[in-house]
Amino acid sequence: MLSRLLCLLCLFAFSSAAFGQVTLDLYENGFSSPVSISNAGDARLFIVERAGKIKIIDENGNGLAIPFLDIDNLVISTGGQSEQGLLGLAFHPDYANNGYYFVHYTNNSGDSQISRFTVDANNPNFSNPSSEKEIMTVDQPFGNHNGGDLAFGPDGYLYIGFGDGGAGGDPGNRSQNLGIPLGKLLRVDVDVDGPYEIPADNPFVGNPNALDMIWAYGIRNPWRFNFDRMTGDLWMADVGQGNREEIDRQPAASTGGENYGWKCYEGNATFDTAGCPDVSELTAPVFDYDHAGFTHCSVTGGYVYRGCMNPDLTGSYFFADYCSGRMWSLTPDGSGGYTDNVVGNFSNFQISAFGEGSDGEIYVANMGNGSIYRLAGGNPFTAGAVTAMDNMLTAQAGFANYQWYLNGQIINGSTSVTHTATESGSYTVEVTNDSGCTATSAAVEVMIVNTFEVEHLNSLVVNPNPFSTKVNITVAFNDKGNYEIAIYDLAGKKYLSQKVEGSLSNQNFEFDLSDASDGVYLMKISNGKGEMSRKLVKVK
């Protein structure tokens, strides 16, 4: 992938870059040729350096000086824009218990090797190279198109991506040859005593003319594939020959066996159809793009966003071009297809990899300056406002789950969009969306119970409290007398007031205290014969 550059760009370090709908905010720097980003199920990020090291960014966003793994002596020496090296990393689904992780690298013989390593039992930030267990080795006829990625699927099996073996135009027609692993996506079971076994439901099991480890084929050079953590769909970016780049998607329900068309087709364009199956037997990309006058050159596959920091991005697949720095999203159009949008034009970036944190946030590697960035864009996830009608509280609709609280304590069994308040206090609701993100609403003060209230008030709601600039008071009375709603400071000075005629209907009053000092105030409602008061808190 990397050797297919048509130009070298002048590179500069940026703390933030933006265009269109997303930004790339600097997360950590100081890496050498980063080509992969992974997580181990916790807050750390693991950065794969092509020369043979894996380094850690800890839970505080700081890069650790000592590598998690250093196998530089096992990895072929590379430089410049070589496609060889340590290229891929995948943590076992049960890594927290067994400490196993798997890497994909080019060994000193120039061949692709898949190996398992084990974390040090006494140091979670280190693993010894001597823990290596070889899983498989695949001969490489050329030094390019190694693929290099690997990932565990929702089924617990290890998926391994290989390019077509290199040179140009797949001269050996390897991608369409089911008798070799090159140009394929493999699927194996590594939870066995030996190196691996073949899952019984692999699509070519029992076919004498095909390797039973093959899951899909017709691939040129898969530069990053992964699984959507919510749906289980597989997304793969396949680097083109010289004109078109493509994005492929395999639904979670697939039983495998897809032929993605190389070298018959490059993206959706004909390349070399001699001896090829009918186009109806091929699986077309969900998106492809041309090189636009040599501006673009090589696709870098990304992830479907499932984080909580940028909910506007949820459900969109992000990817980029290595040469131009242009970034796209693919968003479901509601009819089974996808809408493509250019969401960034980071022209000084060589985007070599995307990664996903354990929290679903997406990270981007810039090979040119050795920095890792975090994808950002859209509005933060919020619970929305709570509305009140008498003592009936209603949260914003449309969330997956609700949980109501009174004075910070959970209200057992109150898990619907509404809650009927039966006692005075500060009410909040915690909401959860389909991605598992949570947010808590601003507090709503409900007052019920004292003698004045029972005699004169039908309902009273103060929202929000605490407040920053304005506070809303909604009140309904049991009689039609004359009342005053007033706000006092603690010295007893009246700050604001409003004359009110009693009514059984809700009346809403907004008090603007934006020019008042932060602190505690008293709200009083009186009718000349009695009064009640409640504490208000103004914060920044």
CA distance 427 to 475: 17
The pLDDT of residue 6 is 26
Strand 265-266, strand 269-270: pairing? antiparallel
pLDDT at 79 over 80: no
Between residues 439 and 380, the one the model is more confident about: 439
What is the pLDDT averaged over residues 175-197? Answer: 98
Q: What tens digit of pLDDT does each residue of 221-237 get?
A: 999 999 999 999 999 99
Q: How confident is the model at residue 407 (pLDDT cuts 50, 70, 90)?
A: very high
The pLDDT score that the predictor gives to residue 534 is: 87
The confidence band for 389, taking pLDDT boundaries of 50, 70 and 90, is confident
Q: Are 40 and 95 in contact (CB under 8 A)?
A: yes
CA-angle at 452, arms to 451 and 456, nearest 5°: 120
What's the confidence (pLDDT) of residue 52?
A: 97
Question: Does position 391 have pLDDT exceeding 50, yes or no?
Answer: yes
Question: Hey, what CATH class is 381-443 in?
Answer: mainly beta
What burial class does residue 189 get, using C-beta atoms within 10 Å of its C-beta: 0-12 exposed, 13-18 middle, 19+ buried? Answer: middle
Task: State mean pLDDT over 464-482.
Answer: 93
User: What pLDDT score does 188 carry?
Assistant: 98
pLDDT of residue 230: 94
Cβ partners under 8 Å of residue 157, min gap 6: 187, 188, 189, 190, 199
**171 preceded by cis ω (within 30°)?**
no
Asked if the model's pLDDT at residue 121 lies above 90, the reply is yes
92 pLDDT exceeds 70? yes
Q: What is the predicted pLDDT for the residue at 492?
A: 82
Q: Which of 9-13, 413-417, 463-467, 514-518 has the highest mean pLDDT?
A: 413-417
Please say whether the dihedral angle defined by the alpha carbons of residues 229, 328, 59 and 366, taken in this order, is positive or negative: positive
Single out the residue of 426, 430, 417, 423 nearest to residue 391, CA to CA.
423
- What's the average model confidence in pLDDT over 169-183? 97
Asked if the model's pLDDT at residue 349 lies above 50, the reply is: yes
ω before 524 within 30° of 0 (cis)? no
Would you state the pLDDT for residue 450? Answer: 60
Q: How many angstroms separate the CA atoms of 344 and 377, rounded?
A: 11
Domain 381-443 in the same topology as domain 2-221+305-376: no
pLDDT computed for residue 3 by the predictor:
32
In this structure, of 240-244, 366-370, 536-540, the range with the lowest mean pLDDT score is 536-540
pLDDT classification of 207: cutoffs 50, 70, 90: very high
- Residue 81's pLDDT band, with cuts at 50, 70 and 90, is low
- Closest among 333, 441, 468, 425 to 381, alpha carbons compared: 441
| 171: alpha, beta or left? (left if phi > 0; alpha if psi -120 to 50) | alpha
Give the start-to-end residue ranges of the domains of the chain: 2-221+305-376, 381-443, 447-540
**What is the pLDDT confidence band of residue 491, given thresholds at 50, 70 and 90?**
confident
Is 21 a residue whose pLDDT tops 90? no
Confidence label for 452 from pLDDT (cuts 50, 70 and 90): confident
Mean pLDDT to the nearest integer, 325-335: 95
Return mean pLDDT, the chain: 92
Does position 2 have pLDDT exceeding 80, yes or no?
no
Instruction: Specify the pLDDT at position 446.
Output: 84
Average pLDDT over residues 517-532: 90
For 99-116, the pLDDT digits (tens) are 999 999 999 999 999 999
Query: 448 falls in which pLDDT band (50, 70, 90)?
Result: low
Note the pLDDT of residue 1. Answer: 40
pLDDT reported for residue 212: 98
Instruction: Tell me what percent of the residues of the chain surpass a pLDDT of 90.
Output: 84
Task: Identify the pLDDT of residue 373.
Answer: 98
Per-residue pLDDT band for 18 (boundaries 50, 70, 90) equals: very low
As a whole number of Å, the CA-based R_g of the chain is: 30
Residue 14 has pLDDT above 60, yes or no: no
Q: Which CATH superfamily includes the segment(s) 447-540?
A: Macroglobulin (MG2) domain (2.60.40.1930)
Domain 2-221+305-376 has CATH 3.40.50.2300: no
Among 14-18, 52-56, 64-68, 138-142, whose mean pLDDT is lowest? 14-18
Task: Judge whether residue 8 has pLDDT over 60.
Answer: no
Q: What pLDDT score was predicted for residue 12?
A: 29
- pLDDT for the residue numbered 19: 41
At residue 153 the predicted structure's pLDDT band, cuts being 50, 70 and 90, is: very high
Residue 539, judged by CB atoms within 10 A of its CB (0-12, 13-18, 19+), counts as exposed
| Measured distance CA(178)–CA(163) in Å, rounded | 14
Quote the pLDDT of residue 503: 92
